[in-house]
Amino acid sequence: MQATRGWIPSRWKRRQYSAAGSKPGPNILRLLMSGSHTNHPLAPMRHSTAHVMAQAVQHLFPGAKFAFGPDTEDGFYYDIELPRPISQDDLAALEAEMRKSVASQSQFVHEDWPKGRALEWFREHDQPFKVEWISQLPDETVSIYRHGDFTDLCAGPHVSNTADIGAFKLLSSGGAYWRGDEKREQLTRIYGTVWNNQQELDDYLERLEEARRRDHRRIGKDLQLFMFADEVGPGMPLWLPKGATIRRELERYVTDLELRQGYQHVSTPDVAKVDLYKTSGHWAHYKDAMFPVMKAGDEELVLRPMNCPHHIQIYKFTQRSYRDLPLRIAEFGTMWRYEKSGELSGLSRVRRMDLNDAHIFCTPEQILDEIVGVVQLIESVYDVLGITEHWYRLSLWDPSDREKYVDNPPMWEMGERYLKEAMARLHLEYVEAPGEAAFYGPKIDIQLRDPLGHSETISTIQLDFHLPNQFQLEYVGEDSKEHRPVMIHRGVIGTLVRMIAFLIEKYAGAFPVWLSPVQARLIPITDRNVDYLRGLHERLLDLQVRSELDQRNEKMQRKIAEAQTEKVPYMVVAGGRDEEAGTVSVRLRSGEQLPPMAPAEFVNRILDDIRNRR
C-alpha cells in the first residue's frame, strides 16, 4: 500500500542535536515532553491529531501502552506498544475511529498535575512508558492534556477542539525502539499526516507519489543503469553499461577538476593487513562496520572500510618537507563496509562503494585555507550538477561516548575551533550535530535532501589530528626540525553510488546531455534513410559523442516513443525530405522540435552542451 519511507527525520534530528548527545538522556526527555517540535504553523494541529489517533488506538487496541507521539515536518507519529501486530486494515479502522472523535467535538483540556498524582494515575492505567518518563522529569508538576476519554502527558500546545483537526490520513506503521535505544523495547510507530483541508492533503499525497516515481531503484531498473544479483550478494551493486557510463563521466569530471586544483591522484589496494587498521584505530572504533578478517596462511587481511591509512603510507613514502605541503592525495577509493542487512537500501546504502576521497596533509597554519578551498570546490561541482538545496552540518563528537570516539577532549575542542573559524570565514550558516563526528575528528557535512525530504550526507570535510599521531607522521619545517602535519579527509561528490542515486532522483532519469548514457539517438524514417544518417553517426562517434543509430525494422513513431521512455536528450530524425534538403530534424525529449538543421550544426550544438556540461 502506501509504501513511504519516513519523511520526518531531518528536522526532528536537528532538534535533537541542539538538545543533547546521541544517547537519549533527560534532555531528550524534556524535549519529547515539550509537545510540538517544529515551528510549523500546523504543528499544534498535527500534535493534536497524534492524540486523537492515540485515543482511537486506545479504543481499538485495549491494553495499548503509549510511549510518545510528536508532530513532524509533514504530520505526526505515535510510538505505542500494541497487543498484536497492526495491518493496513487496522489503519483504515483507526481512521474511522478518529473521525468519530472529530465528530464528537471534544475540547482539549490542559491541567497541571503534581508529579505524584501523575505517577499514580499512569501506574493505575498501566502506562509504564509514561511512568518512566514522568519519573525522570525534574519538575514538581507535570502538564497533562485531556480530550474525550483520552488523557496524556504533554506540554502542548493543542488546538482547542478535536473538530479543529483538518484532513488527515494514516500512512504506515513500522518498528521503533523506546527512546531510540536498540537495547530497549521494540514499539510500533504509526505515521500519519494532517493538513488544513482535503486539497492540501491530496497535494501532499501527490508529492509522495512523485517521489515514488523518482525512486532511483525503480528508474535504475527501467533505464538499465544498475542491478543487484542474489548470487553476488546484498549491497553489492553491478553497474550495467549505461550506469557505468554515468559513473565514468562523473569520475573523469571530478578527477580532472582535482588535478587542476593541485590534487595528486593515486591508486591503492582494497585490502590491507589488519594491523594497519589496529594502528589507525579503526579496529577499536569501527570494527563492527568492517568485514571479518581473512586468514591466508599466516596473514590476516581485511577489506578496507576507509582509504586513509593507505594514503598515509603514501605520505610516508619519502621524507616530507614543509615545502611539499599541502600535499593533496586523491583517489576514487573502493571501500567495503559490512552494513547490517536491514540498513541496506538501493544505491544509497551499500556494502561496496567508491569514494571520491582525498587526504590533505598540511601544517596547522594551512588548515583554514585548505578547508575554504575544499568548500569552494564542492560548491563549484554542485553548481555544475544543479544542486542548489543543501545545508551545512558541523558534526561534533559526543563526549559521553568513549567507545565510538577517540578519547582526547583537547583534540576535539581544537578541531571544533578550526572548523567554526573556517565556517565563519566562509560566512556559511550551519547546524551543530553532536554525536555525528568521525571517530577520529569533527567534520563539516554537506546535507542534501532527496525528493522525500530525507537529508543525507554526500560531501564531507573532516579534520583529523589523530591519525597523524597514530602513524607518527612528520615533515621537516623551515627550522629544519620535525613537525607533525594535520590531515583533512574530504569527499566532494562523496561515494559514486550515493551521488548517482541522488542524481537519478533529482533528474528523474533525464540526465543532462554530458551525463546521459545515450546522448543522441538517430532515427531513420525508412531503411532507405539509414545510410544518410550513418555518416552523422560515425562523425559523432569519432567525436566521442554517445550516439546510437536505430536501424531496427520498426516504425519511426515507435523509435521515438522508446527514445522518449529512455530519456535520450536528442532524437535526430531523417527521411526523404531531409535527405533532399541536406538537413536533419531534431527532437528534444521535452517534445520540442527544432527547426531543420544541417548535420554539422547539430554536431556543434551537442558538442557545445557536452563541453559546457549541460
Partner RNA sequence: GCCGACGUAGCUCAGCUGGCAGAGCGAUGGUUUUGUAAACCAUUGGUCGUCGGUUCGAAUCCGACCGUCGGCUCCA
| Interactions with RNA, residue window 240-259 (CB under 7 A) | none
Binding mask 379-418 for RNA (x = CB under 7 A): -------------------------x--------------
Interface with RNA in residues 20-39 (CB under 7 A): 22
Q: Which is nearer to RNA, 175 or 535 (CB)?
A: 175
Interface with RNA in residues 517-546 (CB under 7 A): 525-528
Q: Measured between alpha carbons, how far is residue 102 from residues 60, 162, 164, 331 in Å?
A: 16, 5, 8, 59
* Residue 505 CA, distance from chain mean position: 12
Residue 494 is a binding residue for RNA (CB under 7 A)? yes
Find the binder of RNA among 102, 205, 266, 344 (CB under 7 A): 344
Interface with RNA in residues 285-304 (CB under 7 A): 289
Binding mask 557-596 for RNA (x = CB under 7 A): xx-xxx-xx-----x-xxxxxxx-----x-x-x-x-x---
Within 8 A by CB and 6+ apart from 193, the residues are: 74, 75, 76, 168, 169, 171, 201, 204
Whose grid coordinates read 481499538?
A: 60
18 sits in which H/E element:
helix 9-19
- CA–CA distance, 137 with 143 (Å, rounded to integer): 11
Q: How far is the CB of 175 from RNA (least distance, A)?
A: 3
Range list of H helices, 187-240: 198-214, 216-222
Nearest to 471 by CA among 279, 273, 281, 315: 279
- CA–CA distance, 53 with 67 (Å, rounded to integer): 13
Q: How far is the CB of 120 from RNA (least distance, A)?
A: 30
Q: How far is the CB of 6 from RNA (least distance, A)?
A: 4
Find the binder of RNA among 55, 245, 307, 460 (CB under 7 A): 460
Q: Which is nearer to RNA, 14 or 351 (CB)?
A: 351
Find the binder of RNA among 371, 411, 438, 610 (CB under 7 A): 438
Find the binder of RNA among 59, 65, 189, 359 (CB under 7 A): 189
Q: How far is the CB of 522 from RNA (least distance, A)?
A: 12
Q: How far is the CB of 298 from RNA (least distance, A)?
A: 30
Find the binder of RNA among 343, 365, 383, 421 (CB under 7 A): 343
Per DSSP, what are the bridge partners of residue 356? 332
Q: How far is the CB of 541 from RNA (least distance, A)?
A: 22
Interface with RNA in residues 128-157 (CB under 7 A): none
Within 8 A by CB and 6+ apart from 253, the residues are: 384, 613
How many CA atoms lie less than 13 Å away from 433 in the CB half-sphere?
22
Q: Measured between alpha carbons, how far is residue 422 from residues 367, 373, 418, 428, 444 in Å?
A: 9, 10, 6, 9, 10
Walk across the sheet containing 352-362 and list its strands: 264-265, 327-336, 352-362, 486-495, 455-464, 443-449, 390-396, 430-434
Q: How far is the CB of 72 from RNA (least distance, A)?
A: 9
Residue 554 is a binding residue for RNA (CB under 7 A)? yes
Residue 7 is a binding residue for RNA (CB under 7 A)? yes
- CA–CA distance, 125 with 258 (Å, rounded to integer): 64
Nearest to 500 by CA among 235, 245, 230: 245
Find the binder of RNA among 110, 217, 420, 534 (CB under 7 A): 217
User: Other C-beta atoms within 10 Å of 458: how many?
Assistant: 23
Find the binder of RNA among 458, 461, 486, 533 (CB under 7 A): 458
- CA–CA distance, 186 with 80 (Å, rounded to integer): 9
Q: How far is the CB of 176 from RNA (least distance, A)?
A: 4
Interface with RNA in residues 418-437 (CB under 7 A): 436
Mutual angle of helices 367-385 and 409-426, in 10-degree steps:
60
Find the binder of RNA among 341, 388, 410, 427 (CB under 7 A): 341
66: buried, middle or exposed (CB in 10 Å: 19+, 13-18, 0-12)?
Answer: buried
Q: Which is nearer to RNA, 165 or 190 (CB)?
A: 190
Q: Which is nearer to RNA, 118 or 254 (CB)?
A: 254
Q: Which is nearer to RNA, 85 or 297 (CB)?
A: 85
Q: Which is nearer to RNA, 121 or 177 (CB)?
A: 177
577 sits in which H/E element:
helix 576-581
Q: How far is the CB of 365 from RNA (least distance, A)?
A: 27
Residue 313 is a binding residue for RNA (CB under 7 A)? no
Within 8 A by CB and 6+ apart from 235, the residues are: 339, 344, 349, 350, 351, 352
Interface with RNA in residues 69-88 (CB under 7 A): 85, 87
Q: How far is the CB of 100 from RNA (least distance, A)?
A: 25
Find the binder of RNA among 4, 363, 470, 551 (CB under 7 A): 4
Residue 169 is a binding residue for RNA (CB under 7 A)? no
Interface with RNA in residues 498-517 (CB under 7 A): 498
Q: How far is the CB of 565 from RNA (least distance, A)?
A: 5
Find the binder of RNA among 45, 50, 276, 497 (CB under 7 A): 497
All 3 cell numbers of residue 548?
A: 546510437
- CA–CA distance, 510 with 237 (Å, rounded to integer): 21
Within 8 A by CB and 6+ apart from 351, the residues are: 233, 234, 235, 236, 336, 337, 338, 339, 344
